[in-house]
Structure 1
């Protein structure tokens, strides 16, 4: 991934960045932009929550730098038409503008299950970067933890804490449905509340549903699955655990959507989308 991003920074081709929520898609787009020849020019974000007319106006007014288009799988027909027209113009007067398109869907699903037109898909995916979820990057976890601990300690003007081997094992066994965002939030909370220079397992009160990936995946029946309504479609173990994790967080923050999104390491739009997908009632926090 790092080598691909380095090569992408040398070109002006469109870049499609795919990965689950919290895997660092925005960070990757910003990193490529900041290491490109357009680093001194603006990087404009077009969010999925923006109304069509506002989104299209912001797009049409862009003449330099880069544009980051979020949640491309949910673009309306009007936004897709405007983006296609923009790409047509890019070949002439907008040649210096690069498009970053972001999606939480894997490549195959984006092609087959989303409403994104195939012609637009191919124009946006000249370079495709697929970011693996944190649960598939366990070999990188120690290095990532050190990176975030250095960042958090520096921002809070605190001495860099030591992570005990027992605490590392506990973090390695976590599922991390919120990926890098959740990892950073968990570490930040531990540093803020710890009175010691060493972080121990008790400094990480992780959700039980996220802390037993081995047994849950082997049995195929994570804890609490019998409580889920039978009217919902069957889900994989990881999806079931994520649904329970989101429900538990909502209960803990008394269904405050902003606090829940911050705790999960996702934005409010993603929280609403996941709750809709999993059938979670945001008003009651129940499945």
Structure 2
């Protein structure tokens, strides 16, 4: 049922439409002048206003202007017995939903148009609700925690978000650097623009350059058409460069120039183009140490670290672990259609005592597994991963002969558990810095990434 206002200087038209729309289940009020309509609009919001264009003293177009200024969510349908192309064009420019000529089919035409207008309003309202929900999910509400360090992080986000300054987010892998970047964007003046993110470590140098700056047709084999880069896509919004510490020195030169000049040149192109982006960078590496070791350009470091922001590892905000665990419980309950009501005290204690080298991401993975496996009303300790619930007994190689079980062992699972524990230990020893952990394990960073992904670290 919709709330309608019908405005026409012909009383017979008002009465006919009033009867028709009331029979259709709508609420309808009628007035015979623009002045009467303005009076009604002062105390009432209408879903749809149906107004004649030609009326004494003032026209339906003037009424349309007023409604657009005062009740922008109301749909306006204009009707007339003297339609012209010019008037129809003017009505469209002013924001009328429809422009109908009076005919013997006017009632049917209006009923159909009113239903279309109501459907359009419903879709707009749903889209607005979805946008608000998305903004809520990507804003501060997406960062769970009440510890002093997280509260301080919230305050810093709200302070830096309204500025256009470049932000450098530092923290171990899995701490939620992209969530913080999203929150900065959602609370900025650029929140209507795009948030574009890229993980710099996922691309080789040449591919990264093409992704960031785009390319022109014929720039290289396979470049069959021009392609926009992420700088261009993010213009007017925010560009998030994750793992910026993994970029090569030549790539850093190109990034520095783009940030300084606010201009980019596509690969293979001759012309530069202006870009208007707010840059947020992130790294789990010690960029200052990399600068000292000549692995990261000092000038780029100072350019991206105008406002440095550090996310504490989960082990340093243990009071947030139960909050996060219950947050993930609700999330995976919804996703899996389950109704698990809580987490046992024993399980909570185990979650709090574990070091979480993979930080929030590892906790999320652990809770997803627990929700999937749990058959009771609350998460029991047995549903948690073994490493969280106290770890499994891993046979020491030197004692293998004496400790080898009579029933034998699952060699593949045993080796996987050793690998996982070694990765976790190396991460903890390296304070979450993955490149250091890779060095401790005498493996390449690429291999380390593969194993970390395999075990959800």
Scaled by the length of structure 1, what TM-score is found? Answer: 0.72
Once the two structures are superposed, the pairs formed by residues 268-283 of structure 1 within 5 Å of their partners are 274-275=437-438, 277-280=440-443
Residue in 2 aligned with 1:230? none
Answering whether residue 257 of structure 2 is matched by residue 105 of structure 1, we say no
Answering whether residue 243 of structure 2 is matched by residue 71 of structure 1, we say yes
Contact 2:344 2:378 in 1 (8 A): yes
State the Cα distance separating 1:272 from its structure 2 match.
9.0
Change over 3 Å in CA distance of 1:277–1:29 after alignment to 2: farther
Q: Where in structure 1 are there 5+ consecutive unaligned residues?
A: 213-222, 228-246, 265-269
SS in 1 for 2:309: strand
Change over 3 Å in CA distance of 1:211–1:153 after alignment to 2: same
State the Cα distance separating 1:46 from its structure 2 match.
3.0
Change over 3 Å in CA distance of 1:248–1:17 after alignment to 2: farther
Name whichever of 42-51 and 166-175 sits farther off: 42-51
State the Cα distance separating 1:7 from its structure 2 match.
1.8
Scaled by the length of structure 2, what TM-score is found? Answer: 0.47
Contact 1:148 1:187 in 2 (8 A): yes
Residue in 2 aligned with 1:87? 259
Change over 3 Å in CA distance of 1:135–1:120 after alignment to 2: same
Change over 3 Å in CA distance of 1:183–1:80 after alignment to 2: same
Name whichever of 181-190 and 86-95 sits farther off: 86-95
State the Cα distance separating 1:211 from its structure 2 match.
4.3
Residue in 1 aligned with 2:169? 17
Residue in 2 aligned with 1:251? 416
Provide Cα deviations, 1:97-119, integer angstroms capped at 9, x if missing partner: 01111111246535434611111
State the Cα distance separating 1:181 from its structure 2 match.
0.6
**Aligned-residue RMSD, C-alpha:** 3.7
Distance 1:249 1:114 in 2: 41
Change over 3 Å in CA distance of 1:153–1:226 after alignment to 2: same
Contact 2:340 2:378 in 1 (8 A): no
Provide Cα deviations, 1:5-43, integer angstroms capped at 9, x if missing partner: 122221111110111111111111122122322223222
Change over 3 Å in CA distance of 1:109–1:165 after alignment to 2: farther
Provide Cα deviations, 1:205-247, integer angstroms capped at 9, x if missing partner: 3327x948xxxxxxxxxx99998xxxxxxxxxxxxxxxxxxx9
Bigger-Rg structure (1/2): 2
Contact 1:74 1:115 in 2 (8 A): no
